[in-house]
Amino acid sequence: MGKESGFTQQYPRIDTAPLPVEPYISAETFELEKERVFKRSWLSVGRRDQVREPGDFFTRDLEIGDTKILVVCGADGQVRAFHNVCQHRGHQVSLESEGRGCQGFICEFHNWSYGLDGSLKGMPDADNFVLDKTQLGLREIHCDLWEDNVFINLAAAPEHTLAEYLGDLGRDLSGFPHQDYAPIATISSELQCNWKLVMDAFNEAYHVIGLHRRSAPGAFNSEDNPFGHLQAVKLHERHWTISAYANPQQTPSAAAGLNIQYSAAATYVPKHSDEQGLTKLPPGVNPSQSDTWAFDVHQIFPNFSYYTANGWILCQRYWPISVDSCRYETTLYTVPPKTAAERVAMEQTIIMLWDVVLEDLSTVERTQPMLLSGAIDAFQLSDMELGIRQHAQVLAQAIGKA
């Protein structure tokens, strides 16, 4: 470790040995992750803005839970989640990925119909069945909200409530204006690699001076901080936060300069205006209270990255499909623009961020086949890659391999 490091030393429970490659290529580990982690943990599946009003809904493929889910806002305003499975003969009830203001759901196969609360409403030729309709609603999945984020838990009886599961991290982010942000862009992509490679790529800033030299030159490092060392790393029991450094002297491109001038939206330049109450941040945001803070990545175990910054938030999820394939999805949120200049700046924000994200994703499919070569057994990690160790350790414990 370098002389300026020291985050890892604050957490003696963290194993500092090289990190084995095996969990990234092992079908056995993948099955354990499925059964012991993803089918038991609280999983972020969307945001309240997708199910704001009664009849708003979205569906999602959840290969790692062996199911597809339907999340819907009921007539009573409550958000519920169901397996998207018709109780007649198992067809998918909703074939749409999302919708607004619907009255209920009708299965296309034989037209059984369900209410927004999942109850079975009726079926054609009902007199020809002997059954109890009250027992044949859609199978409900535990669902709860935290700061406008929709979580589900596939367990029959979750071990923790969502609030207990999020613990200190959830409490430390209370008071941030989460609800002020609206979605402006989404990317979803299937990648031929293990899901952890993708999450790892967003779990450190060590790659910034190399991989992001074109998209963000001088944004995350400076003479004072040549390697872009993180501002803070805080490990909780199962979650953790890393906070990135922003160079206060960076020279933005001409387009980015206009963005900064006209918009409170995404910028990596520290800008501590009080417009969004950011001078009164809760303890979980910019936890080291640094003047050179760019953004935080709150890593919510097992597969959700929730970014907080000055003027934007970002939700990223990494969904395992098989040991060597996954789906990456990310949505950027900003405070909705109020002027034409802010609207144009928003587009610049999107372009700026996507440039960076596409670079981040560029490495993962090049890495996965190399892990099968036998030429690398373990990853060598620096103090700046502590988040990767935390994730690996919490996962190993959860699957009984620690």
Residues that bind Fe ion (CB under 5 A): 360
* Nearest distance, CB of residue 163 and Fe ion, angstroms: 31
Alpha-carbon 272 to chain mean position: 25
Which CB, 83 or 327, lies closer to ligand FES? 83
CA distances from 43 to 96, 121, 151 (A): 21, 29, 5
Our CB check for Fe ion shows the closer of 3 and 214 to be: 214
For residues 70 and 100, what is the distance between their CA atoms, to the nearest angstrom? Answer: 13
Taking CB under 6 A as the binding criterion, the range among 5-13, 103-111, 298-306, 334-342 that sits at the site for ligand FES is 103-111
Which of 45, 51, 72, 86 touches ligand FES (CB under 6 A)?
86
Dump the DSSP string for 193-226.
Answer: S-HHHHHHHTS-STTHHHHTTTTSTTTS--SSST
Structure-block tokens of residue 323: 């040991």
Nearest to residue 68, comparing CAs of 90, 50, 52?
A: 90
In the list 18, 31, 35, 89, the residue contacting ligand FES (rule: CB under 6 A) is 89
Instruction: Using the minimum distance from each CB to ligand FES, give the nearer residue, 107 or 384.
Output: 107
Q: Which residues contact 181 (CB under 8 A, 6 or more apart)?
A: 312, 313, 333, 334, 335
129 binds, among ligand FES, Fe ion, none (CB under 5 to 8 A by kind): none
Window of 5-13, 55-63, 110-118, 176-184 that interacts with ligand FES by CB under 6 A: 110-118
How many chain residues touch ligand FES (CB under 6 A)?
Answer: 9
Q: Which two tokens stand for residue 371?
A: 């892990």
Task: Identify the residue whose tokens are 């397996």.
Answer: 83
Task: Report in angstroms how near the CB of residue 107 gets to ligand FES at its nearest.
Answer: 3
Counting contacts by CB under 6 A, is residue 138 touching ligand FES?
no
* Complex with Fe ion: residue 143 or 314, whichever CB lies closer: 314
d(CA 135, CA 87): 10
Asked whether position 107 contacts ligand FES by CB under 6 A, the answer is yes
Under the binding rule (CB under 6 A), the answer on residue 112 touching ligand FES is yes
Q: Which is nearer to ligand FES, 84 or 194 (CB)?
A: 84
Q: How far is the CB of 108 from ligand FES (least distance, A)?
A: 7
Return the range that interacts with ligand FES (CB under 6 A); candidates 42-50, 84-92, 114-122, 145-153. 84-92
* Minimum CB–partner distance for residue 127 and ligand FES (Å): 16
- For residue 238, give Cα distances in angstroms to 40, 48, 164, 165, 393: 14, 24, 11, 9, 9
CB of 138 to ligand FES, least distance (A): 11
Quick one: 100 or 110, whose CB is closer to ligand FES? 110
How far apart are CB 91 and ligand FES at their closest, in Å?
4
CB-neighbour burial class of residue 325 (10 A; exposed 0-12, middle 13-18, buried 19+) = middle
Q: Is position 88 an interface residue for ligand FES (rule: CB under 6 A)?
A: yes
SS3 content of the chain, % helix, strand, coil (to 5): 30, 25, 45
Q: Which is nearer to ligand FES, 88 or 401 (CB)?
A: 88
Cis-peptide into 302, omega within 30 deg: yes
How many Å from the N-terminal Cα to the C-terminal Cα in the chain? 24
213 binds, among Fe ion, ligand FES, none (CB under 5 to 8 A by kind): none
Residue 360 interacting entry, from Fe ion, ligand FES, none, C-beta within 5 to 8 Å by type: Fe ion
CA distance linking residue 229 with residue 246, whole number of Å: 10
- Given candidates 36, 91, 121, 343, which one binds ligand FES under the rule CB under 6 A? 91
* Residues at the site binding ligand FES, with contacts judged by CB under 6 A: 86, 88-89, 91, 107, 109-112
